[in-house]
A and B are shown apart, each in its own frame.
Chain A
Amino acid sequence: MMADTDVRRPAHAAGRDWERLNGRLLLVNLSILAAPLAMFFASLALTGGKTNLQIIITLGSLFVTFLVISGIGLMRLFTTRFRLTEERFELHSGLVFRSRRSIPVARIRGVDMTANPVHRLFGLTTLRLDTGEQSDSAGRRFSLDGITRADARELRRRIIELRDAGQARPVADSDGPLCELDWSWLRYGPLTVWGVGGVLIAASSVYRTLHEMQVDPLEWGIVKDLQNRFGSVPLWYGILVCVVVLVALGMAGSTATFVENWYGYELRREDGGILRVRRGLFATRSVSIEEQRLRGLELVEPIPLRWAKGAKLNAVASGLGNLEDNRRRRGLTPPVPRGEALRVAAETLPVGPGLIERQGLTRHPQAAMWRRVNRALLWTALIIAIQIGLGVWLGSWLIVTGIFSGAVVMPILIGFALSAYRSLGHGIRGRYLVASSGTFARRTAALQRDGIIGWTITRSAFQRRKGLLTLGATTSAGDGVYKVHDVTESQGIALAETAVPRLLAPFVERVPDGHRPH
């Protein structure tokens, strides 16, 4: 790295084609300081001008923290330089820990733009280069945090042009997007489950913040009034109301998230064999996936969405970053009608219709069903046992509720188990291995057979006794492993051998007669 530096210094000093981040970043960084100041004035207003030491210490430390963050941001602004030459993209940054990095243009897999709300206010954006490195640390990323949108677009155009120079890249027959936001899909918004959890988290963090600032919402007149009015209603009614309110808020939250995430959504095939997803209301995101890195597709149907005949489509692609990044960036469509998801799938991977249809997949053996039913029974037994155990200790009424809740929970869990069994399926479709499974969210994944770089076979004690195994196809794309759950041993071996011939074969043997699995 030092040797690099010495060689390049003259060029650096000349600074002709070296570019810097945009000066407006200064304002962005200073605007961060507005948050603690606003909180200070808000607390003054709420407490009626009285302050005490705790508030001052809390807000003071908050202010200092933000000052440091803002300082780091400013330092980045003043020390970052980048340039694009014919062969390389170079990025120099840092004052104390200087980093000088360069990447061959040919290695750049994707160029993404993300803009958070504050950036957008000032017309800035973050440009991120994907190098295909499976690195976890944020510091290893090539990103230009704060250049104007026009500059970013220009830079992206130049990078892609340079990279693709001399290579025959497919030119998109760009006759419109593959898929565009349809506001009627908003009906699927409330069906994402995590909304309720989000409400609880938000409420608790708001309460904690207010509490830190010596404001107790439970003391407010309006809350007191509610308490007086409804304090005398029965407990079950209170719980019911709370649940209804929570679910309603959760649905509203999920809908809001849907709008924030998917406003202005479009999926487009662009020149150079790139699929580009654009979306976002406050923070705009643009994810580009090179089609040659696209190893397959995944159709996800969480239970509520499945009941509403909706589904989501994800890309199974390499070079989308580590697992967490991949989770955030793999979405090709929002929750949409199932048919629409299948249509987009067929257009994204033109290998014929029905690639990720579950129809026609091979069913799994009955033992797989018993495994799921047994698991449901085990959970039921656990729920009953805990209550009965507590009942012996605390009083017999818990034994009664234990038996009742067992009677209620058992059919529900068995229902889940049977539905999980119906979700199971696998097959080979042309160049793809297709596997479907899932209890709460049914996932049907099609993975390119060329993309499989190994097998992972797992067997629990129960699976070994019943002659079952779970076959995992490992790959550099997506989640890293895609599993075919609970197939018989010979089914699994046959599937693996068909998908990737000759890899497993040397390790297969015939069962001596008399030792056949039942």
Chain B
Amino acid sequence: MVHQSRTGQARRRLTQEQGEAVEHNDNVRLRPPRHRVDRRALGWWTLQSSLFALPLPLTFGILWASIPPTRTFFMWATLISLVPGILYVAVMPAWRYRVHRWEATDEAVYAASGWLWQQWRVVPLSRVQTVDTLRGPLQQMFGLSGITVTTASSAAAVKIKGIDHKIAGDLVEYLTRTTQAVPGDAT
């Protein structure tokens, strides 16, 4: 453990020196966090997006089938609402799965989320105020959990969604233990 943290420090010192050197250097970039979310998140997002995108075309479709005089109108309505819906259901989950990642070191929580618009958030553990878990009914069906790490900022909550229930439990325990050890009121 001691050895590990010492190499960690050495690495940090190295990267800090890099950080000072990067001022006019073009070849650094943010690396993605280490851990992917659980594969089951794909199923969860697919179900979620279909629940969001499919009811409208379905309603139009039923109307199209059941009210003959308005056939052409509802045919177009069905198609127009169905195409973006299907695109969304087909593209979003896989894309999210490529982007969503998380990592917790002994100093910070780091998470990436989003698909078209992507957010990468870093919060130092010394500034964490609360660690919450949230499991919606859909996430529960897939055995998944979501974690929200809040700070004193109203805009900086780090959300890690769709990770395995057990891993989430361990992560919450790790985070609460580490953040309790840090004195101060975290503002």
Cβ B33 vs Cβ A458 within 8 A: no
Cβ A134 vs Cβ B29 within 8 A: no
Known: A454-B122, A457-B121, A506-B12. A501 touches B19 (CB 8 A): yes
Query: With contacts defined as CB atoms under 8 Å apart, how many contacts are there between chain A and chain B in the complex?
Result: 151
Known: A490-B29, A493-B19. A506 touches B156 (CB 8 A): no
Q: Which of A456, A461, A488, A508 contacts B18 (CB 8 A)?
A: A508
Measured between beta carbons, the chain A residues less than 8 angstroms from B124 are 453-454, 503
Measured between beta carbons, the chain B residues less than 8 angstroms from A507 are 30-31, 33, 103, 110, 122
B158 to chain A: closest residue by CB: A454
Cβ B30 vs Cβ A454 within 8 A: no
Measured between beta carbons, the chain A residues less than 8 angstroms from B87 are none
Measured between beta carbons, the chain A residues less than 8 angstroms from B122 are 454-455, 457, 503-504, 507
Q: Which of B23, B116, B155 contacts A461 (CB 8 A)?
A: B116
Is residue B186 within 8 Å, beta carbon to beta carbon, of the partner chain?
yes
Measured between beta carbons, the chain A residues less than 8 angstroms from B118 are 458-459, 464
* CB proximity to B under 8 Å, residues A479-518: 479-481, 488-490, 493-494, 497-498, 501-511, 513, 516-517
Bound complex: CA A517 to CA B22 (Å): 15
Is residue A181 within 8 Å, beta carbon to beta carbon, of the partner chain?
no
B20 to chain A: closest residue by CB: A497
Is residue B108 within 8 Å, beta carbon to beta carbon, of the partner chain?
yes
Q: Which of A460, A489, A503 contacts B30 (CB 8 A)?
A: A489
**Distance to closest chain B CB from A299 (angstroms):** 21
* CB proximity to A under 8 Å, residues B10-33: 11-12, 15-16, 18-20, 22-23, 25-31, 33
**Distance to closest chain A CB from B32 (angstroms):** 9
Cβ A506 vs Cβ B105 within 8 A: yes
Known: A454-B124, A454-B156, A504-B122. A490 touches B22 (CB 8 A): yes
Measured between beta carbons, the chain A residues less than 8 angstroms from B151 are 453-454, 474, 476
Cβ B11 vs Cβ A480 within 8 A: no
Known: A323-B154, A461-B116, A481-B156. A494 touches B22 (CB 8 A): yes
Is residue B152 within 8 Å, beta carbon to beta carbon, of the partner chain?
yes
A134 to chain B: closest residue by CB: B154
Known: A456-B121, A460-B117. A475 touches B16 (CB 8 A): no
Q: Which of B19, B22, B120, B187 contacts A318 (CB 8 A)?
A: B187
B154 to chain A: closest residue by CB: A480
B110 to chain A: closest residue by CB: A507
Is residue B140 within 8 Å, beta carbon to beta carbon, of the partner chain?
no
Cβ A481 vs Cβ B15 within 8 A: no
Cβ B186 vs Cβ A460 within 8 A: no
**Distance to closest chain B CB from A517 (angstroms):** 7
Q: Which of A454, A505, A511 contacts B29 (CB 8 A)?
A: A511
Cβ B29 vs Cβ A453 within 8 A: no
Bound complex: CA A322 to CA B151 (Å): 14
Is residue B127 within 8 Å, beta carbon to beta carbon, of the partner chain?
yes
Measured between beta carbons, the chain B residues less than 8 angstroms from A476 are 151-153, 187
B116 to chain A: closest residue by CB: A461
Is residue B48 within 8 Å, beta carbon to beta carbon, of the partner chain?
no
B21 to chain A: closest residue by CB: A494
* CB proximity to A under 8 Å, residues B88-124: 103, 105, 107-108, 110, 114, 116-124
Is residue A438 within 8 Å, beta carbon to beta carbon, of the partner chain?
no
A517 to chain B: closest residue by CB: B26
A500 to chain B: closest residue by CB: B124
Is residue A334 within 8 Å, beta carbon to beta carbon, of the partner chain?
no
* CB proximity to B under 8 Å, residues A306-333: 318, 322-323
Most buried by B among A464, A497, A517: A497
Cβ B19 vs Cβ A508 within 8 A: yes
* Given A453-B186, A474-B153, A507-B110, 14 new contacts (CB under 8 A): A453-B152, A453-B187, A456-B155, A458-B120, A476-B152, A480-B154, A490-B25, A493-B22, A498-B20, A502-B12, A503-B108, A504-B122, A505-B19, A507-B103
